[in-house]
Amino acid sequence: MTLSARSVLFPVVVVVLVVAGVWFVRGPGPMAFSGGPKVALADYKSNDPTGVPASLAKADLIARGEYLARAADCVVCHTSQGGKAYAGGLAFNLPFGTLYSTNITPDKETGIGNYTDQQFLNALHRGIRRDGARLYPAMPYTSYTYMSDADALAIKAFLLSLAPVQATPPANTLTFPFNQRWAMGFWSALFNPDTRFEPDSSKTAEWNRGAYLAEALAHCGECHTPRNLAFALNNRNKFAGALTAGWHAFNISSDKNTGLGAWRDQDVASYLASGHADGHGTASGPMGEAVDESFSQLDPADVRAIVAYLRSVPAVASTSLPAAVAPPAPASPREGAMADAHGKMVFEGACVSCHGWTGESSISPFATLTGAWAVNDPDATNVAQIVIAGTKRHAPDGAISMPAFGNAYSDGEIAAVANYVTARFGSKGSRLTARDVADLRKQTAR
């Protein structure tokens, strides 16, 4: 090979390697798995998968925007505990500091009152703030980027119809180099496709509606898809479950054992709409909030569409969950797992009155532990979090809640009771330590 050939080849190799590397790190897009031909929205012949359900088709822009804002679940992240809705200030505790959500009420100084349409789209689709600064991907713009311009602007119209709240969130406390917002430009260039939703013409209209809702609005993958080293979603393991903000977002791929594969359609729909499915437990934490603020308010047809879409996501087995959930525990406290005497002590005092020794609640199916992934998770992440923070659900029989024990029970006690609960009601007991519980406390958004 001549020198000149080499000198030509070398950069080519470098470019190929970089491209391959980027392709490898970036991985496939969230809907790549469907495999069918993608068409631009404008060219899609079937029912438009974007927008609002038929019942709202004639509603005004603000009402449509409200529905879409619900579906996109803006409120959960943009509201602090006890704070005004959409006024921001919720803290995300990351390993490298704390990030606070922004005020998205129409206040001109502290909110988004001065945003033009284009500025709003830049934020939602590209992660670029009005002043040009880069947003951190805690704002899921790599999902929202699939939202149609019309839907995004409907959401804007809704937000601008709210009462302005003057509120500035606390300053972020990220450490170097994470405090360098400009660096997010490179991250975005790599990981934000900056493209709108494209239906798969080989799929049904329902599937496409479900895909749009799940990907562009509900942003399921942001919690349920594991992330790569660059903190971007790794869609090779799409929906295979991940640890997010101190909670385990479980596997919602179609895996039979550790995903939704063995759930009936109505179970998945019920879980989304009410936060509970008999035999599968009850949503809490971030998923509970998503149910309260988003899924429970969606049109039933939209929930069905999401279910149809979830069904099509290829099975990826989780290694972190056992292959089968445990059956009910024995009725007698003398039988069954005895793992942790201290944990049993906490359980028999504070927990058994609702959850029972079998794990099947005599109070409400919503309090039944048997069959729930949380108690079958050998990391006991969510069990510990629920004990710390409590939970509240709106059951058909009225609201049902579990109080928070985190203020009065020590990390050691919470670890002990989590270990006891997972051993007794799950298929493999956890081995949480007091230190693990202390870490979990630190990770939750508040």
Partner 1 sequence: MAVTRNDLEGVSRRAVLVGGAASGFLFAFHLPARAVNEPVQPPDRTDGRFAPNAFIRIDRSGTTTLIMPQVEMGQGVYTSISMVLAEELDADFAQVAVAHAPPNDKLYANPIFGIQVTGNSNSVRAFWKPLRTAGATARAMLVQAAAQQWQVDPAGCSTANGRVIHAAGGRSLAYGDLADAASRLPPPKDVALKDPEKFVLIGQPLKRIDTPDKVNGKAVYGIDAMLPGMKFATLGACPVFGGKVGAVDDRAALKIPGVRQVIVLDDLVAVVGDHMWAARKGLDALVVTWDEGANAHLSSNDIWEDLRAASRKDGVVARSAGDVAKGLAEGDRFEASYELPFLAHATMEPLNCTVHLTPDSCEIWTGSQVIARAQSAAAKAAGLPVEKVTANNHLLGGGFGRRLEPDMVVAAVRIAKHVDGPVKVVWTREEDIQHDIYRPVYRDTIAASLSNGRIVGWKYRIAGSSVIARWLPPAFQKGIDIDAVDSAVDIPYDIPNFSAEYVRAEPPAVPTGFWRGVGPNNNVFAIESFIDELARKAGKDPVVFRRDMLDKNPRMLAALNLAAERSNWGQPLPARIGRGVCVQPSFASFIATVVEAEVDEQGEVYLHRVTSAVDTGIAVNPDTIRAQLEGGLIFGLTAALYGEITIENGRVKQSNFNDYRMLRIDQAPKIDIHLIKSGEPPGGIGETGATAGPPALRNAIYAATRVALRRLPIDRSLIAVGNRS
Partner 2 sequence: MTTLTINGQQKSFDAPADMPLLWVLRDVLGMTGTKFGCGIAQCGACTVHIDGKPVRSCMLPVGAVRDRAITTIEGVGATPIGARVQKAWLDLEVVQCGYCQSGQIMSATALLATTPNPDDSDIDAAMAGNICRCGTYVRIRAAIKRAASERQS
Chain contacts with partner 1 (rule: CB under 8 A): 342, 345, 348-350, 390, 403-405, 407-410, 412-413, 434
Give contact residues for partner 2 (rule: CB under 8 A).
331-334, 344-345, 348-350, 352-354, 357, 362-364, 397-398, 400-401, 403
| Residue in 313, 327, 328, 326 with CA at minimum distance from that of residue 251 | 313
Give me the least distance between CB of 266 and partner 2, in Å please. 21
Give me the least distance between CB of 268 and partner 2, in Å please. 24
Give me the least distance between CB of 181 and partner 1, in Å please. 32
CA dist 416 and 136 (Å) reads 37
The option from partner 2, partner 1, none interacting with 397 (CB < 5 to 8 A, set by class) reads partner 2
**In Å, how far from its chain's centre is CA 386?**
17
The option from partner 1, partner 2, none interacting with 309 (CB < 5 to 8 A, set by class) reads none
If the CB atoms of residues 168 and 364 are measured against partner 2, the closer one turns out to be 364
Give me the least distance between CB of 80 and partner 1, in Å please. 13
What is the signed CA dihedral for 207, 213, 215, 218, rounded to 10 degrees? -140
CB 228 within 8 A of CB 234: yes
| Residue in 40, 41, 67 with CA at minimum distance from that of residue 54 | 67
CA dist 34 and 32 (Å) reads 5
If the CB atoms of residues 47 and 433 are measured against partner 1, the closer one turns out to be 433
Structure tokens of 192?
A: 């934000």
Give me the least distance between CB of 389 and partner 2, in Å please. 15
Structure tokens of 127?
A: 């992660």
The option from partner 1, partner 2, none interacting with 413 (CB < 5 to 8 A, set by class) reads partner 1
Give me the least distance between CB of 288 and partner 1, in Å please. 18
CA dist 329 and 371 (Å) reads 11
Give me the least distance between CB of 87 and partner 1, in Å please. 15
What is the signed CA dihedral for 80, 221, 39, 184, rounded to 10 degrees? 70
The option from partner 1, partner 2, none interacting with 434 (CB < 5 to 8 A, set by class) reads partner 1
If the CB atoms of residues 189 and 331 are measured against partner 2, the closer one turns out to be 331
If the CB atoms of residues 314 and 412 are measured against partner 1, the closer one turns out to be 412
Q: Long-range pairs for 19-28 at CB < 8 Å and ≥24 separation?
A: 22/190, 25/190, 25/228, 25/229, 25/230, 25/232, 26/190, 26/191, 26/232, 27/228, 27/232, 27/233, 27/234, 27/235, 27/236, 28/235, 28/236
Give me the least distance between CB of 376 and partner 2, in Å please. 23
If the CB atoms of residues 41 and 434 are measured against partner 1, the closer one turns out to be 434
> Among all chains, which residue has been given the structure tokens 């992440």?
381
Give me the least distance between CB of 300 and partner 1, in Å please. 24
If the CB atoms of residues 83 and 328 are measured against partner 2, the closer one turns out to be 328
| Residue in 330, 327, 318, 341 with CA at minimum distance from that of residue 260 | 318
The option from partner 2, partner 1, none interacting with 353 (CB < 5 to 8 A, set by class) reads partner 2
If the CB atoms of residues 268 and 350 are measured against partner 2, the closer one turns out to be 350
The option from partner 1, partner 2, none interacting with 410 (CB < 5 to 8 A, set by class) reads partner 1
The option from partner 1, partner 2, none interacting with 342 (CB < 5 to 8 A, set by class) reads partner 1
The option from partner 2, partner 1, none interacting with 357 (CB < 5 to 8 A, set by class) reads partner 2
The option from partner 1, partner 2, none interacting with 400 (CB < 5 to 8 A, set by class) reads partner 2
- 84: amino acid identity, one letter: K
HSE value, Cβ hemisphere, 13 Å, CA-based, for 251? 26
If the CB atoms of residues 138 and 432 are measured against partner 1, the closer one turns out to be 432
| Residue in 47, 65, 46 with CA at minimum distance from that of residue 56 | 65
If the CB atoms of residues 279 and 403 are measured against partner 1, the closer one turns out to be 403
Grouping H, G, I as helix, E, B as strand and the rest as coil, residue 339 is coil
